[in-house]
Amino acid sequence: MPHLLAVSLLLFLLQGYANAAALPTCASAQAALTAQLRLQPEQLQGCVQLSDAIVLRYGVKGDIATFAIQAQLPPKTAYLGVGLSELGSMKGADMFILNATTSGTAAAPGWRLVDAYAPGFVRPVADKQQDTKLLGVSSTSNSGLIAAWQRHVAPCDAQDLPLPSTPIHVLWAYGASWGYHGTVNRGSSLVSFLDQPLQQQQQQQKKEPLSVTAASGPAATSSNVAAAAGGAAAGLPAGVKVLELTYPVTIPEHTTTYFVQYFKLPSNKKYHILRYEPITNSQLLHHGVAYSCDAKAAAAVKAMKSLGPFDRFKHDMQCEQFYMLVVPNTTAYDAPQSAGLPMGTPGSQYLALELHYNNPEGLTGQKDKGSGLRVYYTDVLRPHDIGLITLQQPVLNIPPGQAVLRSNVSVCPSECTAKFKGPLTLLDGFFHMHGLGKSIITRRFRNGTELSPVGQLRSYDYEFQGNTPINSEARTLLPGDTLTLQCTFDSTSRRNMTRSGPATADEMCFHWLSYYPAQEDMGLCYSFGNRPFSVCGASMPKQLSDALHSRNGTSNVAAQMMKLLSDGVLLPAADPAEGSKPYREVCSSKPVA
């Protein structure tokens, strides 16, 4: 009896002790890391609360990044993974894995740090080259798990991601055994690791609204919305009008559904969209894209009996000009002070709102009463229009069974950018391919020298659409610069040739760049297949589409194109990579000392 009493007393005490261990905060993490792992506070200036139970502290000095976590995880947790990801997908994520080892005791296991990467939605595998250095790890019931490690900002290792000058997604997950963590024990936040000069920081803040709100950040609040309904949304001029673009759907049981509905936009005159934000009424909403309809597509949409919603897999979408992005759980996107996104112009009288629902558990009867976009617009126009340039490779012939198939390089030549009236400020980029997309890059050349890329996704995932921020050093595009776009595909899943086209089974290779001030007659800039000329202008010249589709009674397309080139309808374009000084990514190959 006394024995049992002692045991229950001990259990009671232990429980009390466990309950006393508070959930971590940025402050508690800093205290524990400096006291127990002897880190200097200035090594860990940055902090993000990844979840109620996990805090990440970080700091960058020179080319060394320090990462540290404090986490209160369930007993017998087998691993905690923290990863860097370009679009928030696990595919291609660069992971740090704290893996419990069998040494140590069940109550206080030993932990090993593994530098790993995730080739897909599968268990991460250790990098061939280990680039991390564990500074210390400790696991007590009071402080929970604390650990700190270092890595170069940009290791020379294709299995690592360099820390960018823009925010990057930080993923986390943990599990009771080395395997799938389930849908609960995981999450992601956007984190800016690198300090930036003031001017770039200001630009960053304008971009901030597209970030997934960290637990500590402000969410799009209902007071904000209430204020908007009253006509004066926070930070916007009086008289701004609000437009809600949403539609109700019943979400099918299958994993992936894309719905599309067309909307007629206010177009009695020209407006400026100053802000837009997501409206999310279903937890199954994955993301959405609003495409504006050019005049031709608008005519087709106007002629339709029903504007939708319809299943994207069953009907092709008419409108393909990227316009706005719906990312659930993010705050508003604000246009820069001196510019607005045009609405009501001939190319923006209709839009197609595509919403992607993800229902991995096959839930039945799920309804969304209406998700989409809330758009704040005004007829008091700002000095500049925001413009969009479409880069694309329209000729794609992808043979089946290729693990790495590169498209032809599509060139936006300096003869085209030379028509800019002055330097452009790039705001955002949006890459788009379909299911075979593997990676994508837009390179930048100036006067015979390749500069850092305008953007790239080293690991593309169709399931994770999102804006790709432009690195601070690449935000100015000068007249005379040349851009080249190249897509890489993996066609091992296909039996037949895949070609470019709008259907899901077709492929695409797009990079839309938003910028200001908008340049007149500047919507497209790209070349075709490997042909040495490019289109440059507001839209596709009719003679060219006729020639491409051999609609002119002659099959000699190449000869017709050469004629268009000599007529100045097309511009000469050659891949500038040949004969240019190549860009070399700066990276550190030595281990962290």
Ligand X SMILES: *[C@@H]1O[C@H](CO)[C@@H](O)[C@H](O)[C@H]1NC(C)=O
Interface residues toward ligand X, by CB under 6 A: 79, 97, 99, 114, 116, 124, 126, 178, 283, 286, 328-329, 395-397, 407-408, 446-447, 478, 480, 495-496, 529-531, 543, 546-547, 552, 560, 563-564
Which lies closer to ligand X via its Cβ, residue 239 or residue 401? 401
Least distance to ligand X, CB of residue 286, Å: 6
Which lies closer to ligand X via its Cβ, residue 202 or residue 530? 530
Least distance to ligand X, CB of residue 100, Å: 7
CA nearest to 533, candidates 511, 510, 562, 567: 562
Beta bridge partners of 431: 511
CA nearest to 46, candidates 192, 248, 259: 192
Least distance to ligand X, CB of residue 552, Å: 4
CA nearest to 86, candidates 475, 585, 391, 469: 469
Both structure tokens of 386: 């925001």
Exposed e or buried b per residue across 495-506, where buried means at least 16 C-beta atoms within 10 angstroms of its C-beta: eeebebeeebeb
Which lies closer to ligand X via its Cβ, residue 219 or residue 300? 219
Least distance to ligand X, CB of residue 83, Å: 11
**Are 304 and 262 contacting, i.e. CB atoms less than 8 angstroms apart?**
yes
- Cβ burial of 567 (10 Å; 0-12, 13-18, 19+) is exposed
CA nearest to 55, candidates 74, 31, 76, 91: 31
SS3 227: helix
Least distance to ligand X, CB of residue 52, Å: 12
Which lies closer to ligand X via its Cβ, residue 60 or residue 564? 564
Which lies closer to ligand X via its Cβ, residue 102 or residue 199? 102
Least distance to ligand X, CB of residue 38, Å: 27
Beta bridge partners of 351: 263, 292
Which lies closer to ligand X via its Cβ, residue 80 or residue 240? 80
- Token pair 């020209």 is at which residue? 270
Distances (CA, A) of 48 to 68, 70, 167, 192, 392: 11, 11, 12, 10, 37
Least distance to ligand X, CB of residue 358, Å: 8
Least distance to ligand X, CB of residue 14, Å: 26
Dihedral, CA atoms, 125, 131, 135, 136, nearest 10 degrees? 10
Least distance to ligand X, CB of residue 558, Å: 9
Which lies closer to ligand X via its Cβ, residue 364 or residue 545? 545
Both structure tokens of 511: 């990079």
Least distance to ligand X, CB of residue 17, Å: 27
Least distance to ligand X, CB of residue 104, Å: 12
CA angle 460, 466, 468 (to 5 degrees): 80
Q: How far apart are CA 518 and CA 384, in angstroms?
A: 7
Contacts of 65 (CB under 8 A, 6+ apart): 58, 59, 150, 151, 152, 153, 163, 193
Which lies closer to ligand X via its Cβ, residue 72 or residue 560? 560
Which lies closer to ligand X via its Cβ, residue 63 or residue 583? 583
The residue sitting closest to ligand X, measured at its beta carbon, is: 529
Which lies closer to ligand X via its Cβ, residue 63 or residue 506? 506
Q: How far apart are CA 34 and CA 38, in angstroms?
A: 5
Phi, psi of 205 (to 5 degrees): -65, -35
CA angle 265, 428, 294 (to 5 degrees): 35
Which lies closer to ligand X via its Cβ, residue 298 or residue 325? 325
